[in-house]
Amino acid sequence: MHNKAERLKKVNPRIVEVDSEIAHRVPPGQTVTERFPILHEGEVPHYSMADWSLSIFGEAENKGSWTFDQLLELPQTKVVCDIHCVTRWSKLDTEWEGVRFSELLARLDVSPEARYVMVRADQDYETNLPIEDLLRDDVILAHRYDGAPLSDKHGGPLRLIVPHLYFWKSAKWITGLEFMKEDRPGFWERNGFHNYADPFREQRFSGENLDIPEDEWLKKEFD
């Protein structure tokens, strides 16, 4: 593993010059790459799909859980979108497939007073979002990427995709949705990152800039 990491550090990921015709799609301070950097906290979890489920709790009458097969029975949607990481890389035209958040919400008896969702995920991760943002047509619970089942490293079996916000809001390895009347900060939001995270407004941090070198993502593993 150590040798692999050292080898990857020496590989220069392809950086793409931004054509003027697509410059409006790239937020300030971002670099476009054709590679897909792999960033996460902790170890990559592995699941027995017979045991995996997505829990629903908080301000919802029909609390419980959804199996992976039950999610697959819902209408499936393909989304092609640009993604933007707070560590300053952007990847354009990524293709995801899964269930629109709005499709799942339509099948839940959620209190009208619930205005926020805390997305729970392994490893002990959570991130907060307004329900209004999750109802956009391009926000999905994704289980496929680029035509193939979502890999463990990229958040399989299920991850959230919220293209209009920095990518830490698109939580990997999601395991639960908590519906809330009041907002409260998630993991990164409690640790210096912006509560909302609009990349086009460079909402990276909640206060002073954290010490994240602009080339840090170049040192990470990638596909």
Q: What is the CATH number of the domain that holds 195?
A: 3.90.420.10
Question: Cβ distance 186 to 127 under 8 Å?
Answer: yes
Give the pair of three-digit tokens for residue 90.
């952007």
- pLDDT tier at 87, thresholds 50, 70, 90: confident
Question: Cβ distance 135 to 105 under 8 Å?
Answer: yes
Separation of alpha carbons 218 and 216, rounded Å: 5
pLDDT digits (tens, 9 = 90+) for 111-127: 999 999 999 998 889 99
How high does pLDDT run on average in the chain? 88
Extended strands (E) in the chain:
15-16, 31-33, 53-58, 64-67, 77-84, 89-100, 116-121, 125-130, 140-145, 148-149, 159-161, 174-180
**Residue 147's CB: how many other CB atoms inside 10 A?**
8
Half-sphere exposure of 49 (CA within 13 A, CB side): 10
Nearest residue to 154 (alpha-carbon basis) of 76, 95, 88, 77: 95
Structural domain including 36 reads 2-219
- pTM attached to this predicted model: 0.86
Per-residue pLDDT, averaged over 8-19, amounts to 58
Q: How many domains does the chain have?
A: 1
- pLDDT tier at 5, thresholds 50, 70, 90: very low
ω into residue 157 within 30 of 0, thus cis?
yes
**Residue 167's CB: how many other CB atoms inside 10 A?**
22
Give the pair of three-digit tokens for residue 69.
């097969």
pLDDT digits (tens, 9 = 90+) for 156-191: 999 999 999 999 999 999 999 999 999 999 999 999
Does residue 30 register a pLDDT over 70?
yes
pLDDT of residue 123: 80
